[in-house]
Each structure stands twice: as structure tokens, then as C-alpha cells.
Amino acid sequence: MSVELRRNGLHVTGTPLSLDAKRKSPLSFVSHAHSDHIARHERIIATAATLRLMAHRLGNLSAPLSVPYGRPFALGPLTLELLPAGHVLGSAQIRVTREDGKRIVYTGDISLAPSLTAEPAQVAECDVLVIESTFGHPRYVFPPREEVLGQVESWVRRHLERGAVPVLLAYALGKSQEAMKYLADRGFPLVAHSSIYEVTKLYGELGVPIEPLRCYEGRVEPGEVLFFPPHLNRGGALAPLWPRATAVLTGWALDGAGATRRYNADVAFPLSDHADCPSLVRYAKATGARDVITLHGFAEELAEVLRGHGLDARALGAPKQLSLL
């Protein structure tokens, strides 16, 4: 059995199974519902939460197969199992086991930090590990998430006390809900752009309620914290709100002032739903994999770091077939 990187993403050779295919495929595992990981596949393997969030973004899905964590099932001669990835609500890794017991794990996007809104990641023991490398460069070492969220809370309080509207820029799925849950649990009333509001209401229906929350309709009441999509901040949509202060929540905050300029924000906080480089190394070692393949982001850099830790690691680059196992 092998894995190949095709134009539309990873594919398990000799089977109908794609992994996070970027375009419509006959059958694809979908690790989570971020827009760059979903498509209108003919058949979909994912968790119930991911399928619900996908349907919110894409409409009715064709032949979805809802799979609980930790419940193996057969696909022809293969056994598949989904395990939590800790990235966003419903995110999953997939372990593919062939008839002779050899195992491949594809992590998708993964986070090992304790989360208020996502299922905790589980180490997926395997022989071959295909691991995301978004923050795989050694310079990316995130502070503890609780520490970052505490800094966000202090920033929010400071600007509320001076009468300014605190605006937190975060993606509609994942980081918004994580920061919103933290602030809501501390008594802050929240208001959110409709794209974030709708996803957050779905979180509530999926067992992660976040209140008090209302949908933004052009005004912010005293004491409220506004959540807004980063890409909409560049078009002057927030101009009527004054005084205001804007902060972006992104792992790229570790790149310094470039992150604040990129998102037109006053400050950037290093809140990420991806694992940093040391976490990726710890995870790879914990799986027991004898062969590690790094994918996306800083794949070459992470592979080099892993080799320094004694692992047989290589980056997956241009589309080609890799013989695994």
C-alpha cells in the first residue's frame, strides 16, 4: 500500500480513499470543516460534527458517513479508525490498517494544547505517520494557551475601561469559539459577525454552548466584545466603530509586526489551533512510527528536525507516489 500526492490532495493508492481531497472525489476522508479541507465529494467519511459544519458551509452533502471516534470499520481489505485531532470541534485523524496489521496515520491539522471547545487530541500509534507541518519550523514555539487567553482578557478589559470597542479578529471556525468560550465563561457579553455567530450557534447544538452572544448588526453595546473575520477588517467595515482597538488571534503573531500589518490590527496574540514545532516532534515520537512524512507548511524544516531526533523523516513535496510499508 502507498500514499500519493495528487493534484487534489492525498490518495491511498490501490483504494478509492482520498484524504482531505481539495476537489470533488468519489470518496474522501475529511479531517475537519475548514474551507480549505472540504469539497462536495460523492461520499464523505468524517465525524458527525465535521459533517454538520460542512453542511452549514456547502449545503446538503452526498452520502455522508458519520463515524464516531475510536470505532474501527472496514473499507474493503482495510480497517479505518478516526481519532480526535484537537484542532477544532469534530476534527479527526485517520488510521488505516492493512490486512497484515501495518498502520498508516494521517493527522490532518492537529493541536495538542488543551482546548475549551475541541476534543483533546489522541496519540495514534502507527508504523507510518503523515503529519501536518504548518508551524513545523523550530522558531514556532507557542506560549501556553491559557497564558495567551489571559493576555487577551487583560487587553479586552483595558480597552473596555477606556471606553473603546475591543475587536478580536479570528477565523469563523475554531479560534473564534475558543476565545469566545474563554471570555464568556468570565462574564463578558459577546457580539459576533454573522459568519462567526452562525458557527458558534452550531457549536451550541453540538454540545459546546457559548453565551451570552448576539449577532452583530452594526452596533456594539457598552461592555461587549466584538468578534470579526480577519479578511473583512481590510475593507473598512469597522470604520463606524470608534473608538475601537483591534487584535488578531493567530499563530503567525510569532512573526512579529508582520502579523499586525497583514491583518490591519493593533496587536497580534499567538493563539493557534495548530501544534507548534516542539509539539509536532513530541507527537511524532509518541506514535512509535518508524517512517514519518511531513506535509504542508514547513515540511522540509520539520523533517530535518525530526531526523535530528533520530526519526526517519522526509517531506512530501510535488505530486509523486511514495511507497509506504
Same fold, 2-140+274-323 and 145-269: no
Q: Note down pLDDT in tens along the chain; length 325 residues.
A: 567 888 888 988 788 899 999 999 999 999 999 988 889 999 999 999 999 999 999 999 989 999 999 999 999 999 999 999 999 999 999 999 988 899 999 999 999 999 999 999 999 999 999 999 999 999 999 999 999 999 999 999 999 999 999 999 999 999 999 999 999 999 999 999 999 999 999 999 999 999 999 999 999 999 999 999 998 887 778 988 999 999 999 999 999 888 899 999 999 999 999 999 999 999 999 999 999 999 999 999 999 999 999 999 999 864 444 444 4
Pairing label, strands 18-19, 9-12:
antiparallel
Q: Topology of domain 145-269, per CATH?
A: Rossmann fold (3.40.50)
Pairing label, strands 128-132, 92-97:
unpaired
Element (H, E) at 176: helix 175-184
Q: Which residues contact 111 (CB under 8 A, 6 or more apart)?
A: 85, 86, 87, 118, 121, 272, 273, 274, 275, 279
Element (H, E) at 33: none
Residue keyed to cell 449545503: 59
Extract the C-alpha cell encoding 102.
501495518
DSSP state of 223: T
d(CA 82, CA 11): 17
Q: Where are the domains of the chain?
A: 2-140+274-323, 145-269
Structure pTM?
0.94
The candidate with the shortest Cα–Cα distance to 301, out of 140, 130, 142, is: 140
Cβ–Cβ under 8 Å, residues 9 and 18:
yes
The candidate with the shortest Cα–Cα distance to 82, out of 112, 115, 108, is: 108
Q: Name residue 237's amino acid.
A: A
Q: 3-class SS at 190?
A: strand
Superfamily of domain 2-140+274-323 in the CATH hierarchy: Ribonuclease Z/Hydroxyacylglutathione hydrolase-like (3.60.15.10)
